Copies of this chain bind each other. A is one copy, B any other.
Amino acid sequence: MANEKKIDCVILGLLSHEELTGYEIKKRMDTTLKYFWSASYGSIYPALNDLVNRGLAIKKEDTESKRNKQIYTITKEGRDYLKKWLTLPIEKDELRYETLLKLFFGNEQSVEQALFHIEAFEKKIEKELPYLLNAEETLNKNLNNDIAHKYYLLTVEFGIKTYRTYLEWCKEAKDFLSDEG
């Protein structure tokens, strides 16, 4: 029972909340999970097939809509698999920030270039923060309706706090570099 593939666990996790199509799973990744996880169609669709083959999810054709939709539902076995994975200790938390990497080697570039990278980073964060704040508000309103919201809120709070810290750091870093020329 070792070697749980992360992609399987993420998908099963999303399916544990609601039944979804592959396309919708991708959308969740690009919005809700965006700031701490990601995956492409090229890994999602094969993984879904695999989950069905292993009996962890079932696939049914959508007859109601006019679109060619494949809807996936988690099975009892899938839920057990997910639960088992959740009991295991965390294997890896990984941060790969190219921005920090380029900054680290800043002595090979001009101050202007370093500032340029910091500002680009700042803008990206400033653009994403409102979505998290919006999610926070919605979740706080509906906190009593669904326990799942409680956990979702915790991750959103993580995102908000770290993003605000990033913005603080950007300001300080810009000052530091500008002052010294």
A155 contacts B103, C-beta separation under 8 Å: yes
The A interface is mostly helix, strand or loop, or mixed, namely helix
- Judge whether A106 and B16 touch: CB under 8 Å: no
Question: Is B166 a contact of A162 with CB atoms below 8 Å?
Answer: yes
Question: What residue of chain B has the Cβ atom nearest to residue A10's Cβ?
Answer: B101
In residues 44-65 of chain A, which contact B (Cβ within 8 Å)? none
Chain A: residues with Cβ within 8 Å of the partner, total of 66
Contacts of A108 in B (CB 8 A): 13, 16, 79, 82-83, 86
Residue numbers in B under 8 Å from A10 (CB-CB): 101
Is the CB–CB distance between A16 and B105 below 8 Å? yes
- CB of A26 within 8 A of chain B? no
CA distance A91 to B87 in the complex (A): 35
A102 to B36, CA, bound (A): 11
Question: Which single member of B105, B117, B147 contacts A90 (CB below 8 Å)?
Answer: B117
User: Are A104 and B172 closer than 8 Å at their CB atoms?
Assistant: no
Interface string of A89-116 (1 = CB under 8 A from B): 1111111111111111111110001100
Given contacts A95-B36, A106-B151, contact A113 B87 (CB under 8 A): yes
| Chain B residues, CB < 8 A from A147 | 107
Within 8 A of B (CB), among A163-180: 164-166, 168-169, 172-173, 176-177, 180
Contact B96 A36 (CB under 8 A): yes
Q: Which of the residues B38, B96, B103 comes within 8 Å of A151, measured between beta carbons?
A: B103
